[in-house]
Amino acid sequence: KNEVEQSPQNLTAQEGEFITINCSYSVGISALHWLQQHPGGGIVSLFMLSSGKKKHGRLIATINIQEKHSSLHITASHPRDSAVYICAVITQGGSEKLVFGKGTKLTVNP
């Protein structure tokens, strides 16, 4: 079993829909990242969370440390949001290891 599980693996939505991508992890963490990977391969860090909630534009990320769960929400989705969204956790213990989920491929149709 992977230490970081994402769901769904694939998601297709119509423009304007509200999107939720989930991430569950089974290890102790010091922080969690949400990353966006575009078709060309480049990766951009969207959020880094250790507690609570963060918002940037139409993107909202939440984390529940007790439940070991995080969600990424996209409001008013747009075709340009189409990408792979990856959850990654920084494990505790000072090793600076990052463990990645397998990603959620989002396609937003116009």
What's the min distance (Å) between Cβ of 77 and another protein?
Answer: 23
Q: Which is nearer to another protein, 3 or 17 (CB)?
A: 3
Give CA–CA dist 71/56, Å, rounded: 14
Does residue 80 come out as left (phi exceeding 0), alpha (psi in the -120 to 50 range) or beta? alpha
Q: Which is nearer to another protein, 2 or 14 (CB)?
A: 2
Q: Sign of the C-alpha dihedral, residues 58, 19, 85, 1? A: positive
Give CA–CA dist 48/8, Å, rounded: 21
* Interface pattern 31-60 for another protein (x via CB under 8 A): x-x-x----xxxxxx--x-x----------
Token couple for 30:
């010091």
Give CA–CA dist 20/33, Å, rounded: 15
Residue 99 binds another protein (CB under 8 A) = yes
- Binding part of the chain for another protein, among 12-20, 55-63, 67-75, 101-109 by CB under 8 A, reads 101-109
Q: Which residues bind another protein (CB under 8 A)?
A: 30-31, 33, 35, 40-45, 48, 50, 86, 88, 95-103
